A = this chain, B = another copy of it.
Amino acid sequence: MTIYHLALRHPHGTTPIVAGLGALEDAAEELASWVAGRTLFVVSTPRVLGLHGPALDRLRGAALRSVVLEVDDGEGAKTLHTAERLWREMLVAGGKRDSRVVAFGGGSCADLAGFVAGCFLRGVEVMQVPTTLLAQVDAAIGGKTAVDLPGAKNSVGLFHHPARVIADTGLLATLPPEELRSGLVEVVKMAFLLEPELLTRVERDLERLLASDPEALGPVVAEAAAAKVAVVEADPEENGRRRLLNFGHTLGHAIEAVLDYRGLRHGEAVAYGLLFALRLAAGRGLPKEDAERLRALLRRFGLPPLPELAVDDLLEAAARDKKARESGLVWVLPVALGEGRSFTDVTEAEVRSALGPFLADPWAAG
């Protein structure tokens, strides 16, 4: 198997990213020196530790001492209450400015652990060891961290780049297919706007990817990570190009909020957000055949149906989204395959009139 080495340059330094089957083993020596003589805090969930705990044994053995900070699975862990509990446990365990944090779990764990590390004593180093496809290609890369407030996902957080990201695709073998599918939606999102060749690869290998074939997953994780790195380097704090990553997320987040983060996974909600964005993009230059290509690929994902949702609820949730500005919502839309733009001129009336038909038949071309 191939191990892929990337690097993300950001205003505070460089984050090495190692991806592929056996990436943890490949990086073992550097990791040992990173924790030598220090206290290591492992933020993880009982489920992930039960499945993959031994994968961290060598790292934990190299630290002065290691402390496990257990959190719940999923979005429910991303609360200030949990963050405060972790900070208190870290203080009690003698955590210092030179302590290290490892985030060992999915996207929620990555967000929470990054936030906890970023604010503990004004910032300690964190390494991301994502255990889901979603986290390997997206959440663990780029320094975004956050917890949620009621009704406001990711409303409290900061940019805190990890010291290192280890995306070991061997950890994905235990993922249920719907988790792989959710992560692949983010891959497809990036591929469509940033890396059309990756889109072709996903179209070709989709069945193997959904079956967690590590040979197929390795290059997909590495190429998606590379696409994200390029965008983040160009715009570390999301003032411009990085917003392209929000393709599908304006409505996707609103769907998740209205459903109270139950019923659909993040990637599944984003898939419906992508379908809706294609409708708005239709009047802004996106060729029909490109839209249909993305729609056809997403059809093969076998997504769960979109639950019944009300237009007003979605509009209200979208207006509360943190990507909104005083002047209104920002929509990231493709204008061609491999090219996206932020639009601020999409009126509420247009969104409203497109949403009704979309909710009735999300898969239609609109």
Q: Mark A320-360, 1 if CB is under 8 A from B, else 0.
A: 10111111000000000000000000000000000000000
Complex Cα distance A260/B266, Å? 44
The yes or no answer to A237 lying at the interface (CB within 8 A) is: yes
The yes or no answer to A158 lying at the interface (CB within 8 A) is: yes
A122 near B144: Cβ-Cβ < 8 Å: yes
Query: Which of A48-56, A149-157, A247-255, A285-293 contacts its partner?
Result: A149-157
Q: Mark A154-198, 1 if CB is under 8 A from B, else 0.
A: 111111100000000000000000000000000000000000000
Which residues of chain A from 1 to 56 have any CB-CB distance to chain B below 8 Å in the complex? 11-12, 37-39
The yes or no answer to A123 lying at the interface (CB within 8 A) is: yes
The yes or no answer to A120 lying at the interface (CB within 8 A) is: yes
- Mind listing 11 A-B residue pairs with CB under 8 Å? A11-B11, A37-B326, A97-B322, A99-B326, A122-B145, A122-B146, A122-B159, A122-B237, A122-B322, A123-B158, A158-B158
A residues lining the B interface (CB < 8 Å): 11-12, 37-39, 64, 80, 84, 87-88, 91, 96-99, 118-123, 144-146, 149, 151-152, 154-160, 237-238, 320, 322-327
Closest CB pairs A-B (n = 9) = A121-B322, A122-B157, A11-B11, A119-B156, A98-B325, A91-B152, A96-B325, A158-B158, A80-B84
